[in-house]
Amino acid sequence: MKIAFTTKGAEWDSEMDPRFGRTEFILVYDDEKDEFTSFDNREIENEAHGAGPKTSQKLFELGANVLITGNGPGGNASAVLEKAGIKIYIGAGQMSVKDAYEAYKNNSLKEF
Amino acid sequence: MIINLRGYKKMKIAIASGKGGTGKTTLSTNLTALFAETENVVLTDLDVEEPNSGLFINGILIKEDIMYKMIPNWNESTCSLCGACQKNCNFHAVIQLGPQILVFPELCHSCYACSELCPTDSLPMIKQRMGQLKQFKKDKITFVESRLDVGQEQAVPLIGQTIEYIEKNFPSDIVRIFDSPPGTSCPVIEATKDANFIILVTEPTPFGLHDMKLAVETMKELKKDFGVVVNRYGIGNDEVIDYCKENNIPILAKIPNTRKVAELYSKGELVYTELPEVKLELQKIKNYILNLKINN
């Protein structure tokens, strides 16, 4: 399973980015292969509109099954994520990626 | 060619402000009524997210139109899933998700790029209701207001279509006044970009000055002729006046701050008819407008 995180850096101990659409990075952890990939999403700053759907589409392309984020996506982004069948967990905005993964494993994150 | 407006073409005046609540509607409605004492005038409320000029112009409803914007509608059966639509959309309103295309009407700017450039014509544009336009008549005043439907997020298409409606339905020898939305974002640009002259209404306070500077910069960027009306003159400080002098921005009028204005406004009444000191200032604005020359 591929778990995507919205983050402020490309490392396992980077801080989470509480924003979804305008997150700086997306980290994807494949827990079956124990593989770790990152995507630099900072170009999104130049977009005036539609950051949510665009980042959602990126998650789909990255093949994510689960999204772990902070505040949670807005309406347009949610619509894409739902169609893409991605499960969303929120409330990890103030954690490190590592802590967010632990929290997810312990079922202490809220499902969106 | 320069044409003197006394005679031929008349001005399209947009009344705008950086800061909200400075008196755009008060000025728009009162100035319109003053013009209407002697000539035909068209007032248009372009603040489509919260139009309120109509509260002060109790005209007779003579026309009502539903306003539509055009959005693409995906035809699954002919689509080859080539992905051109999402590449061509600058607003991420069209998203390809594997075997399906999602359209977000609220992000769509009706530019037709996805539709026109689709190799299989699988995104025909269809009408979607966005609001309503109403036209009223009261003596020499024609009043037009557009109102965005609840839930619609984009004011720009409705503002644009409302201006087109005015262009199409009224001759250019009538003064046309446009009550604009506040701020300096897209709706304001749309509401002011076709006007011949912009009146920026401000109040003489630090907030008023701060937001007026933003509006001034916006008008300079749009290469517009503009002037300032100081409303609620007498409160705050002289910084707005000083700024305008330093930057050679004409101050068209200083409308004095009185409790009576607020009382009349709160009852939905015009103020200049009751207050000679306000009428005097409005007369200055009217004269200024009538003496403006339009560069065709």
Q: What is the ipTM of this complex?
A: 0.79
CATH, residue B98? 3.30.70.20
DSSP state of A22: T
Residues B154, B32 within the same domain: yes
What is the total count of domains within chain A? 1
Sheet holding A2-7, edge to edge: A35-40, A25-30, A2-7, A66-68, A87-90, A110-111
Check whether residue B152 and residue B43 sit in a common domain.
yes
- Among B97, B106, B156, B185, most A C-beta atoms within 10 A, so best to mutate, is B97
Asked if A60's CB is within 8 angstroms of B107's CB, the reply is no
The span from the CA of B26 to the CA of B83, in Å, is 50
Q: Are residues B86 and B139 in the same domain?
A: no
End-to-end CA gap in chain B: 6
Q: In terms of residue numbers, what domain contains A33?
A: 2-111
- From CA B147, how far away is CA B45, in angstroms rounded? 9
Q: Tell me, what DSSP letter sits at residue A86?
A: -
Q: Is the pLDDT of residue B1 over 80?
A: no
> Could you read off the pLDDT of B42-65 as tens digits, one per residue?
999 999 999 999 999 999 999 999
Question: What is the residue-averaged pLDDT of chain B?
Answer: 94
Longest dimension (CA), chain B: 70
For residue B3, the tally of other CB atoms under 10 A from its CB is: 12
Q: Tokens at residue B218, please?
A: 């916006």
Q: Please, which pLDDT band fits residue A68 given cuts at 50, 70 and 90?
A: very high
Question: Which residues have C-beta within 8 Å of that of residue B146, sequence separation ≥ 6?
Answer: B45, B46, B48, B51, B67, B131, B132, B133, B134, B158, B159, B161, B162
A99 Cα to chain B: minimum distance (Å)? 31
B34 and B109: one domain?
no
The count of domains in chain B is 2
pLDDT digits (tens, 9 = 90+) for B211-223: 999 999 999 999 9
Structural domain range at position B105 = 74-123
Which pLDDT score is estimated for B5? 47
* Domain membership flag for residue B42: yes
Residues B20, B261: contact at Cβ < 8 Å? no
Contacts of A47 in chain B (CB under 8 A): 92
CATH of the domain at B165: 3.40.50.300
Whether A92 and A109 have beta carbons less than 8 Å apart is answered as yes
- Express as a percent the part of chain B with pLDDT over 70: 96
Q: Which residue of B has its CA nearest to A58?
A: B97
By Cβ distance, the residue of A47, A51, A79 closest to B102 is A79
Cβ separation B104–A49 shorter than 8 A: no
Q: Do B95 and A57 touch (CB under 8 A)?
A: yes
The total of other beta-carbon atoms located within 10 Å of residue B280's CB is: 13
Q: Looking at chain B, which residue has its C-alpha nearest residue A44?
A: B92
Give me B228's structure tokens: 């300032």
Mean pLDDT of A105-112: 93
The residue to which tokens 């400080």 are assigned:
B237
Residues B146 and B211 in one domain: yes
Q: Specify the 3-state DSSP secondary structure of B43.
A: strand
All residues of chain A having their beta carbon less than 8 Å from the beta carbon of residue B185 are: none
**Residues B102, A84: C-beta atoms closer than 8 Å:** no
Residue B102: which of A49, A51, A80 has the nearest Cβ? A80
Residues B252 and B142 occupy one common structural domain: yes
Give alpha helix (H) positions in A44-96: 51-61, 75-83
The verdict on B112 and B138 lying in the same domain is no
Please state the pTM of the whole predicted model.
0.82
Helix (H) or strand (E) holding B67: strand B60-72
Q: In this structure, is residue B128 part of a structural domain? A: no
Q: At which of B89, B104, B123 does a domain end?
A: B123
Per CB-CB distance under 8 Å, the chain B contacts of A57 are: 86, 92, 95-97
Q: Give yes or no: residues B58 and B116 share one domain.
A: no
Among A49, A60, A83, whose Cβ lies nearest the Cβ of B107?
A49
Residue B272 and residue B189 share a domain: yes
Q: What is the pLDDT of residue B296?
A: 45
Is B93 found in the same domain as B216? no
Q: Taking 50 as the threshold, does the pLDDT of residue A91 lie above it? A: yes
CATH number at residue A36: 3.30.420.130
Dist. CA B90–CA A50, nearest whole Å? 9
Query: Is B53 in the same domain as B102?
Result: no
Q: Give the C-alpha separation, B119 to B113, whole Å.
A: 12
Strand partners, B2: B295
Nearest CB to B97; choose among A49, A51, A57: A57
B48 with B168, same domain: the answer is yes
Domain boundary among B92, B123, B154: B123
